[in-house]
Structures are given as C-alpha cells and as structure tokens.
A and B are shown apart, each in its own frame.
Chain A
C-alpha cells in the first residue's frame, strides 16, 4: 500500500503528514501528528470520543480518511484553549464537575462548541439531542447538560 502525502491545517497551523490510503483521520491525528486529545472509543462512529471539526462540520474523525484532510481545516480539542486561557466550555466543565474519567470530554467539548456556534441559546432537549452521539458512561449526562448551559449563558452575556 503506497503512502499518501497530505497537506492540511490543524487548529490554524499548517501540517504535512504521510498516511496510508486506508488510515483514518483519527489515527493520523493521534499517531502522525501527536494530537491524542481525540480518543478512539469505538472506531465506528458510535461514541463520539473522536469528534473534531472538518471544514467547520462536526464529524467523527474515525469515519474520515486521513487522505480526505488534504486542503481541509481541522479543529481539535487541543485548539480550544487560547493564550488567554480556557474556553468558557472548558471552564464550565471543570466548575460543574461535568467530567469524571474524562475520556469522553474532548469529544463532548468539541461537539458542544459546534452547537453553541450554531445555536447560542439551546434548550436542554436540543443540547441532549445534539450530544446524543457522544457517549458518556460516568456522569449520566446531568452535569454535562448543566455545564453546556452555563457556558452558553456566559458566552451570550460576553
């Protein structure tokens, strides 16, 4: 299997990497670029732990070929916090104890950020349906929904 050379943008930075044609974007992020924030919980798009933005769309990076990243813009959890500090969602997740083991957290944060960019004032039900593809086995989702709403309120008033 001959390798493919890919030029892409990750969290605003230009990145070049080499991958095999059957390699997933998740594997390329983790193993070629050293970005291990996105996790593989299932590899089949059922858990959302590998969520990233691809050209602004929320996707499971396990369901994207690395080769498809050519010319694309990718955003991962590693790009959420800026030099000025944590993103309001990140702070809200800590303040509201919305994580326990934390392995689903990067995917949920990326997904929640995408939601609030599209809908700054979601109902609880909208939050729950938007995040239905992000499995969390620790929290029962209660504190996650509260944290997303707290961050949304803060971002609206900012």
Chain B
C-alpha cells in the first residue's frame, strides 16, 4: 500500500486514475480506517485529499454554501451561517459518530461510503444538494441522490472523487430537519431515518417539500408521494398521517441485527412525521 498526499486536484485525479489496483480516497478516514482494520479492503493506494486547495473551506456561493469535501462535521457545526440556512443538514452531519469522529468525518465521505444508513445523506437529498465531482476529465455537478448506487457502491467512475458539496439558496419561510432512530442516544448507526425540507407561503401552507428516507432501502429514498401528501396543507394531523403512510409505503428494508422490516417500516413514518413538524416550525409555521 502507498500513501500519497497530492497538492492539486489534477494530481489527485492522475494518481487515482493511474493506479491499477484498489484505491481509496482519504478525507476524514472514519470509514476507510475501520475498513482497513477489519480487513474488508486492502488498498494499493490511499490518496489523502486534505492538502487540495479549498478542500477544507466553507464558501458562500449564490446565496448558498459550497462545503469542501474535507470539511469535518465539527467544523461544519461551528459555522453559524450554514447552520442558519440548512439546520437540518448541519444537524444530520452532526449526528455521525462521537465527538472524536466529528473531528474527522465529512459529509462527502458519508455520501461516498454509500451506506444506506448514512446520516448526512437523507438531509442532503432533501436539501437538493449537489456534489461536484472531479476526475480525469472536466469537473461535473451531480445531484447527491445520484451518487450512491447501492450499499458500499457509488456511481463515481475510476479516478473520480468529490471535491465539494453545494447547498443551494432557499426561499424565505423554508425549513429542514432530520431525525434518525437509534437504540441508544449516541454512537449507533441509524435503524431508520427521515429528512424533510419544506417551504411555506404567507398563510403557512406548504408550497414545496422534499422528503428523504434512510436505512429503509439499498440507497436513500426520495419519496415524492410523501412530499405530495403535505404540499398544500398546514401539516394538520391528517396530512401528517398521510405523510407517515406514504413513507412507510416507500420502505423496502431488510431484517438485520439493527432492526426488523416491520420496525423500520413503521418507524420511518413516525420519524418523517416528527421531522416534518420540526421543519414546519423552523419555516415559521404555527403547528
């Protein structure tokens, strides 16, 4: 195994493309090092991207924010402006692992690890975030929901890696929230999760919404029916019930050591309902 720490995006892409064996991109390392320890992967090349220009920066852009791929979740959580615009995303990223893990883990890494249960991913999908992908060719922008291809698999091609994630501007009277279910209060992988982003009109009626679920399918689920269930409503009880039902209907989970199909299906709806209430309140709605 080789360890390289390139200084430019082009060099990083060249190294990753040239290596014939297994490669891993090292950002925070909180997934890669666990995989190394467990012997799940024996890479031939590790490319540490933390020296790339701008990779650790949060930059205001077009009313939104561009979050460098090596920005740790702890750093993200300390940024008051991002937190004010996308509190649900920042909270979701802040739920990943312990304080120690927060000091290293990144949203881009959470996305590329492609676990169905990654906490940042549903919130990013609900937010309509866009990943910037560098590689041998020209950089391209990809909606985050198009990155995961299945458990542990992404749609990134050989030599490609994410350099930043863009959180867009949003209209006034908008709010987002993310909730996950874990058996303890900390340190667990989500058993089911839900993110809701929504916008209200002056009357408190929901005019736009995106609802995403985690840990209930091989990849994060963007549930259009769930959004439809609350658009045009003030999130009254029947709208919440319809939201929960649409979410449960969209679940295709598995039974495993963390939860059952039955449990995940039920709880995904409960979490969506609760997250929607928080998002609604954040948007200025009177629940």
B282 contacts chain A at the CB level, 8 A cutoff: no
B101 contacts chain A at the CB level, 8 A cutoff: yes
B168 contacts chain A at the CB level, 8 A cutoff: no
Partner of B99 from the list A20, A43, A62, A133 (CB cut-off 8 Å) is A133
Query: Are B1 and A57 in contact (CB-based, < 8 A)?
Result: no
* B contact residues around A48 at 8 Å (CB): 98, 100
A78 contacts chain B at the CB level, 8 A cutoff: no
A44-B34, A57-B103, A63-B34 known; A133+B98 contact, CB < 8 A: yes
A45-B34, A63-B30, A63-B33 known; A132+B186 contact, CB < 8 A: yes
B173 contacts chain A at the CB level, 8 A cutoff: no
Closest Cβ of chain B to A132, distance in Å, is: 4
Does more than half of chain B's interface fall in helix, strand or loop, or is it mixed?
mixed
Encoded as 1 (CB less than 8 Å from any B CB) or 0, chain A from 123 to 134 comes to: 000000111111
A67 contacts chain B at the CB level, 8 A cutoff: yes
A60-B100, A133-B186 known; A68+B48 contact, CB < 8 A: yes
Query: Are A24 and B185 in contact (CB-based, < 8 A)?
Result: no
B169 contacts chain A at the CB level, 8 A cutoff: no
A65-B26, A132-B98, A133-B187 known; A22+B103 contact, CB < 8 A: no
B74 contacts chain A at the CB level, 8 A cutoff: yes
Query: Are B101 and A60 in contact (CB-based, < 8 A)?
Result: yes
A51 contacts chain B at the CB level, 8 A cutoff: yes
* A contact residues around B263 at 8 Å (CB): none
B37 contacts chain A at the CB level, 8 A cutoff: yes
Total B residues in contact with A, Cβ cutoff 8 Å: 27
Chain A: interface residue count, which band? 20 to 34
Report the bound CA distance from A60 to B37 in whole Å.
14
A97 contacts chain B at the CB level, 8 A cutoff: no
Report the bound CA distance from A70 to B198 in whole Å.
45
A44-B37, A44-B38, A54-B103 known; A65+B29 contact, CB < 8 A: yes
* B contact residues around A54 at 8 Å (CB): 103
A79 contacts chain B at the CB level, 8 A cutoff: no
A129-B186, A133-B98 known; A59+B1 contact, CB < 8 A: no
* B contact residues around A2 at 8 Å (CB): 2
Partner of A4 from the list B3, B33, B38, B100 (CB cut-off 8 Å) is B3
Query: Are B3 and A51 in contact (CB-based, < 8 A)?
Result: no
Query: Are A45 and B30 in contact (CB-based, < 8 A)?
Result: yes
Report the bound CA distance from A29 to B104 in whole Å.
19
Which of A4, A21, A62, A114 has the largest number of chain B CB atoms within 10 A? Answer: A21
A99 contacts chain B at the CB level, 8 A cutoff: no
Residue of B nearest to A22 (CB): B1
Residue of B nearest to A21 (CB): B3
Residue of B nearest to A111 (CB): B99
Encoded as 1 (CB less than 8 Å from any A CB) or 0, chain B from 22 to 50 comes to: 00001001100110111000000010101
* A contact residues around B48 at 8 Å (CB): 65, 67-68
Query: Are B36 and A133 in contact (CB-based, < 8 A)?
Result: no
Query: Are B72 and A133 in contact (CB-based, < 8 A)?
Result: no
* A contact residues around B2 at 8 Å (CB): 2, 21
B64 contacts chain A at the CB level, 8 A cutoff: no
B positions within 8 Å CB-CB of A: 1-3, 5, 26, 29-30, 33-34, 36-38, 46, 48, 50, 72, 74, 97-101, 103-104, 185-187
